[in-house]
Structure 1
Amino acid sequence: MENILSQVGKKLRESDYKLTPQREEILRVLIENQDKHLSAEEILGLVKEKSPEIGLATVYRTLEILYSLGLVHCMDFGDGRKRYEFELLESKSHQHHHLICLNCGKIEEIEEDLLEELEREVYKNKGFVVTNHQLKIYGFCRNCAPKKEGEI
């Protein structure tokens, strides 16, 4: 954790920003919850547990800075709320993909990247170099999917 914070602090300083105590707390929440897709309001709720003086405007400003530096991804899953996810500095590769349940709202990550063949075809046929992509698949999770006849 401290190594990541040090690296982020360096990247912030290189862009004329400081790693303030408030930004550090927001970063800690993002790093500790890398397996979740948190909204700014959810981040604020977690930050306030340790630093009740931090407000929503500070969270939004920090997320904008981190996004502009490529340290967080911002995603919209169609529920009217932007979700944020910390990007590890050493893992600058394709983003993972997401399964989004239309009933309960659960978001599950898919690590497999099945679009590499499509990228090659796009380059071959269109001369377009894909640098990244994001795939969102909407449907029903295991708990919400309609049961087929004969299933328990």
Structure 2
Amino acid sequence: MSDESDPIEAGLRTEGVRVTRQRLAILHVLREATDHPRAEDILARAKEQDPSVSQATVYRTLSVLEKAGTVLRNEFDGAGARYELAEGGHHDHLIDLDTGAVIEFHSDKIERLQAEIAAELGYEIEWHRLELYGRKSGRRR
């Protein structure tokens, strides 16, 4: 199950984190996720891989992975904590207020505009997070 050449697993071992069967199941869930799952979603999916995964294991593992910089914890308004792997480059999020869906996007135009605004104010951006909240056009409340 464990892949010695996997950079995430190698990084965890370097940090002194044991790579257990349960943690591998959780990593598998995060790698395969096309959404930004909540901890309870991760638990349900990981149990399909390894029935011995517990809620406590998921929360402990997410905490360890977050501290190691492997996982990002997103706190979207009203949506609770959602998780994603830290790999994959910078992107922003659009949160659908009706469905709770989290859509990743990247816009060079937005990135340039943010850099211009920061420069006009005498700053260079070190990092940023952009979250947009909306409803599909034409959808009624």
The TM-score bracket by the shorter chain reads 0.7 to 0.9
| Shift in Å, 1:59 | 0.5
| Alignment gaps of 5+ in structure 1 | 147-152
Please state whether the residue corresponding to 1:145 is helix, strand or coil. coil
1:99 maps to 2:61: no
Partners of 1:61 and 1:69 lie apart in 2 by 12
Match of 1:119 in 2: 115
| Shift in Å, 1:52 | 1.3
| Equivalences, count | 138
Match of 2:38 in 1: 39
8 Å contact 2:79–2:100 — kept in the other structure? no
Aligned letter for 1:115?
E
Structure-2-length-normalised TM-score: 0.85
| Shift in Å, 1:18 | 1.8
More divergent stretch after superposition (57-66 vs 115-124): 115-124
| Shift in Å, 1:69 | 1.5
Partners of 1:134 and 1:122 lie apart in 2 by 14
Match of 1:145 in 2: 139
Aligned letter for 1:116?
R
In our comparison, the structure showing a higher alpha carbon Rg is 1
| Alignment gaps of 5+ in structure 2 | none
Q: Deviations over 1:50-78 (max 9, x none)?
A: 21111111111111111111111111121
What's the RMSD between the two structures over aligned residues?
A: 2.2
1:134 pairs with 125, 129, 138, which one? 129
Q: Deviations over 1:16-42 (max 9, x none)?
A: 112111111100000011x21000000
Partners of 1:141 and 1:17 lie apart in 2 by 43
Q: What percentage of aligned pairs have identical amino acids?
A: 33
Partners of 2:61 and 2:124 lie apart in 1 by 31
1:7 maps to 2:7: yes
Partners of 1:28 and 1:5 lie apart in 2 by 15
Partners of 2:120 and 2:79 lie apart in 1 by 37
Partners of 1:84 and 1:41 lie apart in 2 by 11
8 Å contact 2:3–2:9 — kept in the other structure? no
1:74 maps to 2:73: yes
| Shift in Å, 1:140 | 0.4
